A = this chain, B = another copy of it.
């Protein structure tokens, strides 16, 4: 069964909460019992991952205290992940509260329409305009990459087909 796929358009309520579709809620409850981690991405969207997925992302850090004492780069990395992540849970009505600082960061205002996008390991919440731009960016990149691949295929050498 495919998890965390597709796109939903839905609205953020007056209190900054989002009602997730039954499909998405089922994906989360199946994976982590509704315990999720919200995380602000540099792309300008809010990712929501099952807790175990997020822990896997952060498992690498050993002896964090000793490193933090001596390295500003390391402190900044801890600060980014700490400040930009927050554990949340999905309510029994399928709602999640988006922390205010995250909403501002992602331009997701109470009362506005957003896109809920599946990313296979979780979902992302996008401001509508930003999502349209992101689609363009993804497509432009894929097209450019394809063009280059075609050009390279014209050159002599060991070809794939």
Residues of A whose CB lies within 8 Å of any CB of B are 1-2, 4-7, 9, 35, 37, 41-43, 49, 51, 53-61, 64-66, 68-69, 72, 75-76, 78-83, 85-87, 99-101, 105, 117-121, 124, 134-135, 137-139, 141-146, 148-150, 152-154, 156
Contact = CB atoms under 8 A, between A and B. Distances in A.
Q: How many copies does the complex hold?
A: 2
Contact of A37 (B2, B4, B72, B87): B2
A127 B6 CA distance: 20
Given A57-B65, A99-B6, A124-B79, A145 B153 contact: yes
Contacts of A56: 65-66
A64 B60 CA distance: 13
A141 B150 contact: yes
A51 B2 contact: yes
A117 B82 contact: yes
B85 A5 contact: yes
A98 to B, nearest CB: 12
Given A43-B72, A49-B65, A64-B120, 20 more contacts: A1-B87, A2-B87, A4-B82, A5-B85, A5-B87, A6-B86, A6-B101, A9-B100, A42-B72, A42-B146, A43-B146, A53-B65, A57-B68, A78-B119, A80-B142, A83-B117, A83-B118, A83-B119, A144-B154, A148-B154
